[in-house]
Structure 1
Amino acid sequence: MSRPVSVAVPRKGRPLEATLERFAAVAGDDAAALADDVSSTLRYEKALTKGKQSDDRGVYDRLAAYSDPTGAGPEYTLMRDDREGHPRRIVFDSAPLTVDDIDVRLVGREEPFRALRTHDVALGFDSADLVLEEVVGLEPEGVRDLSDVNARIDPRDTDVRVATGLGDTVRHTLMATPDAVPEDDALDRAFVADYEGPLCISPRYERLVEAVLGTDALDGVEFVYPDAGQEEEAAIADTGVGVYLTVTGGTARDHGLVLGEDLFPSETVLMENEAEATKATRSLEIALASGVETALSPE
């Protein structure tokens, strides 16, 4: 019997749910049941860590109850949460499934993209943000969408390429106070190119924003950051202009901000390490990308 194809996936959060939904879409009822099981378990555990639920069982008892000791179902593990006190949190570890007669094992990783970079696996899912933050080259012109990403990856740096996005889109969006934008100007990339002054961003997105907007547009721009514990939208309102993630934009509007151009989709992406590709991984990649509008053509 051939070994299952290992696929690195996130351990928790929106990217994991988007990944499980993609498998459910292409692998039928068993994969859909797995997606529901894992997603509901981790949402419950998240509610416990936030104090919105209570459970008389200890964390090890819950871990044992959730995990399938035979390996035929999902397994979970513990990690230290980054909140104060670093409490233990139950996260996804692994699960088997089948896609088009290909045996697959999903393997949880804190940063799946790095598992691909180090050649641990051939396929994996992670946030497009991490690709921009780590390997997309900085150039005078910015990156607008996923179709630009592979062309910006230096083949001497990594064998990893983006195959498709999953469409679970939150967007990096320009936002500003009304008085920061001249009445006849649009709040878009052209505005930033002409703008000089502070631009408020989350510090973890500095390189991403540079890649998305391009180095030419940022000439004369000074990055500033929220104070410790301050909401990003509140900090942008204090600064005048900034970039942050939006879904509906409601929080930004609550702070008196107007929304401008959506700069780049922050979505989960399927990636391949081309150096580790086999016939089985190629077949699985094709199956997973089928029917996704953002699927990219091979370079």
Structure 2
Amino acid sequence: MTTTRVAVPRKGRPLEAVLERLAGRTGTTDLADDIISTLRYEKAVTKGNQDAVADVYHRISDYSSLDAPYKPEYTLLRDDRDGMPRRIVFDSVTVPTEHGDVQLVGREEPFRALRTHEFALGFDSADLVLEEVVQLRDEPLTAIHEINDRIDPLDTDVRVVTGLGDTVYHTLLATPEVMDTQDGPLDRDFVTNYEGELCISPRYERLVEAVLGTSALDGVSFTYPTEGGEEEADIAATGLGVYLTVTGSTARDHGLELGEQLFPSETVLLENAHERTETTERVASLFEEPEETALQSI
């Protein structure tokens, strides 16, 4: 049987979500756990929260088994932290499945690798899709299944197939003082009636415009967190902002009220429709929950 290559992130929550979903469908839980624990350890080493027992070259040699099938491989990248330390990240692993071998291949930008037709299938954050290709409209974008309707077919052949459910949310946050300027909940309507500054991460500017809707931003100007500072603190200083939250505990520590969850930040399965084959369709089904219905591909 053939090997199907699937582009995945090299590290972080999206890669873990892919490994866990595939492990659940193929019984390769030990393999997924090994990769996840290795990368978490290496992240801790890079951040200075863990002491390494060997240098980086010995560690990567221990992790990678190039002569053994179905074993993970790793590679070295320069981290953008002070001093630009070398960081061990995921390179690839081949997993046997009922639809043939599936090779997960690490890429810095999986979505862009699909856009250039290097892969038929891949995973990336829904955030990146919103930042790069969705059309901005007056109406807000509120759910993952709406993304494909906002992609211009002339812009890219890539479409969202399904999400993996590893969800945190882009959430509206405000100080009580700003909340008191209007009656009603802290939601999109609140922003529509608001005039003033809205603090966001600069990398999420198009995303925020998409999920709030451009008409809601009349009279609103974006400000950005100070470099190296806590984003919740900068939002508290501004009075209103959008930030990723899980429990919201840090936001509350800064005196912020949690408002509407605007959009899920979720890992999504992507397909380049131009590269679709019967095999890639079968492989894509491995990443869907049994009860899921995949999104309509265009």
Find the residue that maps to 1:259 and give its secondary structure: strand
* 1:58 and 2:55 matched: yes
> C-alpha deviations, 1:11-69, integer Å up to 9, x for none?
001000001011011111xx212111100100111111122211231101100100011
Spell out the pairing of 1:105-124 with structure 2 (5 A cutoff).
105-124=103-122
Q: Which amino acid in 1 is paired with 2:204? A: Y
Structure 1 residues 161 and 16, CA gap change in structure 2 (3 angstroms): same
Find the residue that maps to 2:20 and give its secondary structure: helix
Q: Which residue pairs with 2:150 in the alignment?
A: 152
* In structure 1, C-alpha distance between the alignment counterparts of 2:113 and 2:74, rounded to whole Å: 19
Q: What's the CA shift for 1:293?
A: 4.8
> C-alpha deviations, 1:79-103, integer Å up to 9, x for none?
0001011100000000000222321
Structure 1 residues 161 and 215, CA gap change in structure 2 (3 angstroms): same
Question: Are the counterparts in 1 of residues 273 and 297 from structure 2 also a CA contact under 8 Å?
Answer: no
Q: What's the CA shift for 1:291?
A: 2.8
Q: Which amino acid in 2 is paired with 1:106? A: L
Question: Are the counterparts in 2 of residues 75 and 92 from structure 1 also a CA contact under 8 Å?
Answer: yes
Q: Which residue pairs with 1:133 in the alignment?
A: 131
Find the residue that maps to 2:279 and give its secondary structure: helix
* In structure 2, C-alpha distance between the alignment counterparts of 1:32 and 1:117, rounded to whole Å: 31
* In structure 2, C-alpha distance between the alignment counterparts of 1:157 and 1:264, rounded to whole Å: 23
Spell out the pairing of 1:1-299 with structure 2 (5 A cutoff).
2-28=1-27, 31-72=28-69, 73-182=71-180, 184-291=183-290, 293=292, 295-299=294-298
* In structure 1, C-alpha distance between the alignment counterparts of 2:200 and 2:114, rounded to whole Å: 28
* In structure 1, C-alpha distance between the alignment counterparts of 2:90 and 2:291, rounded to whole Å: 25
RMSD between superposed Cα atoms in Å:
1.3
Question: Are the counterparts in 2 of residues 121 and 273 from structure 1 also a CA contact under 8 Å?
Answer: yes
User: Structure 1 unaligned runs (5+)?
Assistant: none
Q: What's the CA shift for 1:298?
A: 3.5
TM-score, normalisation: structure 1:
0.96
Counting matched residue pairs gives: 296
Question: Are the counterparts in 2 of residues 165 and 295 from structure 1 also a CA contact under 8 Å?
Answer: no
TM-score, normalisation: structure 2:
0.96
Find the residue that maps to 2:96 and give its secondary structure: strand
Question: Are the counterparts in 2 of residues 167 and 294 from structure 1 also a CA contact under 8 Å?
Answer: no
User: Structure 2 unaligned runs (5+)?
Assistant: none
Find the residue that maps to 1:195 and give its secondary structure: coil
Between the two proteins, what is the percent identity of the paired residues? 65
